Each structure stands twice: as C-alpha cells, then as structure tokens.
Amino acid sequence: MTTLELLEDLRRLREILGDAKVNALLFVLEESYPQLIDDALKIDSRQPQASIPERLANVDQFVAERRGRIRETQIGSVFLSLDRWIEQLRTVNNRLNPDKFSESGLNRLLEQAEFLFQSYERFVSSYDTASTRYLVLAGHEVWSSKELTLSLTKSLETALSPLPHNIEDGEMLSIILQPPSAFRVIVSKLDALEAIYDELCRLLSVSSTTQPLEVVKIETGSLWTKLFGESKVIQLMTDLIRDSVSFLHRNFTNEGRISAIPKNAAAIESLLKLSDRLGESGVPADELRQNIQQSAVVLGKQLTILLSGESKVTVNDDTYSVAAEWEKRFLKESRTLFLEDGNENGSNETDSTKSSD
C-alpha cells in the first residue's frame, strides 16, 4: 500500500468515525456511564444492609431516566446507521488490517461496535434495567475506542503529509499521475515539472535559483508528487496543468488515444491563455510577446510529456479523468453523436499536428 492509498483510507476512516447519527447515540450512552458506574461502586458488602435497597432504587431511577433518553432516538434510523457504520468500519479494516491482526485498535473497535449493535437489539426488545446497563457499558467501550482511533488517525495523517518549514514564503502543488513504472517515464515526467516551473519563473521574472522548485514528497506506485515553490509561479503552473489535462481529456478519441497539445505557438497561446494570465499577474504581456510565444512552445512540449497517457490526473484535491469527461458529454448528447464527434476531433487533431510540423 502506498502512502497515498493509506492517506485516502485514513481520511475515509475519519469520515466514518464522524457519522452524526452514530455519534448522537454514543454521546447519550457516554454521558450516562460515569453516574452508572459511580452508583454501582457505592453498592458493596461493606455498606449497612439497610442502605443497599436505597442505593439500588437510586440506580434503577437513574437507569429509567437514561432509558427514556435513549428511547428518544429514532430506533429504525439508529439500526440502519449502526449497521452501515459497522460495514464501513469492516471495509476499512480489511484494507488497513488485511492479516486480521486481532490486537489492532481498529479490529477491537469493530468488535466493540458489533457488540454495541447486539446490545441495542437486546435493549429494544425488552427496555429493561439490565439491557439498559449493558447498552451503556457497550456504548462507553465504543466511544473510548472511537476517540482513540480518531486521535491516532489525525496524527498519522499529519505525519504522512509533511509541510515545508517556509510555507509562508510559497505555495504547494500536489499532482498524482498513473504512469507506467518504467524508470525513464517517471524521470521524464519529473523533469517536465521542473522545466515548466523554470520556464514560468523566466516569464514572471522570478529567480529559480533563489526560489527553486522544492520536493516535499515523491512516491511511486502511482506517481504522487508534492512540490513547493514561489507562489505566483506555482499558481500559474497549477492553472496550466489543469487546463491542459482538461483539453487532453476533452479530445480523447473513440480509439482510446490521448491527443497531444498543439505544437504551434499561436494554438498553444490560445489554449493556455498565457498573455491573459501574465497580465493578471502584473507582467506587461505586450512587451514580452516574442518571449511568450517561445515559452508557449516549451510549455506545450513539457505539458505533453507530463500528461501523455494519463487518463486520470489529480491536481491538489481535484481529480480529472477521461471517464468524467465522457459522463459530461453523455448528459448532453447521444452516444452516436459522441462517437461521431470523437472521430472528428481525432482527425482534426491529427491534421493540426501535421500542419504545425
């Protein structure tokens, strides 16, 4: 399992542990626990026999009040929520604990949650004092394990997602690709990221020597790269990657080939809107027309290397995929029209590439 996959599972686990309906029940049970235990501890053989019935009456009164609070929850909804919650925990546990190590915290939480479900069934079938006590005790166990698991999950997420110390001086870019595992392919995509950053530094008059592109994390399996650099450059770089991958996926042909970014400067400039974006960054684009055209060709080439063959790309928290583009087009057109457009786009792209060569 890669760090990326582990982080996704941890985020999913945190969402599961935060289920509102389950936590509402657990809160009622947990707030009942201290008083129930305190009253029980006061009933022992060292007390005068005359006081024991009074203590038991106090316990019964408290349990009856708690029983009323628990019954205020929507029983059918609680059953469904608990059942779904346990199934979600089981799914995550199967991924994080594939060897079914019985002493793992998550495995214990799952067992306690299953016992809580059984205790709730018993409570609903009788609503007596004993079933209420069992339910409160089961709820306390689940609450304690849940809080511990949640704390550990957050700590792991933090440890696996390091930030550079000088975060105030720049910005982060996270990009996830799915390339083949061939060494040269991985290296070429990493080189492309640096080349894009350096070219944008040149356009924005930023020194790539004093403010270089820094590696925060690189992990293969899928190629997950977290980079850190000068704010304006990273922002522009992020926008260009987003627009480029959207263009490539929109032009995905029905033969299953990803089109290349156009090679002539005018077409790339039209796609990437470099002049407009540089103007928004305060760069006098009109004075740099020739430089922009030269940079457009360099950027187009490097973006093609970076994104070629990538049917699914995640930029920061946004995922782009060919399947998602298909879905959008299916909503607007029939499948026949889609295939016709795909053929037409594929032939047009081929023609434009030949003419630019």
Query: What CA–CA distance (Å, rounded) separates 353 from 333?
Result: 27
Q: How would you classify residue 286: left for phi > 0, otherwise alpha for psi between -120 and 50, otherwise beta?
A: alpha
Tokens of 237: 């770089």
pLDDT at position 295:
83
Asked if residue 353 has pLDDT above 50, the reply is no
Render 12-44 in DSSP notation, one character per residue.
Answer: HHHHHHT-HHHHHHHHHHHHHHHHHHHHHHT-S
- At 88, list the tokens: 């979600």
Confidence of residue 118 (pLDDT cuts 50, 70, 90): very high
Per-residue model confidence as pLDDT tens digits over 241-288: 998 888 877 776 544 455 567 666 667 766 677 777 776 766 665 656
Q: Which of 272, 277, 274, 273 is CA-nearest to residue 248?
A: 272
> Alpha helices, DSSP H only, in the chain?
3-17, 20-41, 51-71, 75-96, 105-126, 129-160, 183-203, 231-250, 265-272, 274-280, 289-307, 322-332, 335-356
pLDDT tens-digit map of 152-186: 888 888 877 766 555 667 889 999 998 887 888 89
Spatial CB neighbours of 226, under 8 Å, sequence gap ≥ 6: 172, 173, 174, 215, 216, 217, 218
* Per-residue pLDDT reduced to its tens digit, 230-241: 999 999 999 999
- Token pair of 178, please? 């799915």
- CB-hemisphere CA count at 13 Å for 286? 0
pTM exceeds 0.95: no
Domain locations in the chain as residue ranges: 3-160, 167-356
For residue range 287-324, what is the model confidence (pLDDT) as tens digits?
Answer: 566 677 788 888 888 998 898 878 889 998 888 887 65
> Could you tell me which residue, 10 or 65, shows the higher pLDDT?
10
Judged against a pLDDT cut of 50, whether residue 60 lies above it is answered with yes
Q: DSSP for 48-95, please give it.
A: -TTHHHHHHHHHHHHHHHHHHHHHTS-HHHHHHHHHHHHHHHHHHHHH
pLDDT in tens, 177-217: 988 878 888 999 999 999 999 999 988 888 989 899 998 88
Q: How confident is the model at residue 337 (pLDDT cuts 50, 70, 90)?
A: very low
Amino acid letter for position 267: A
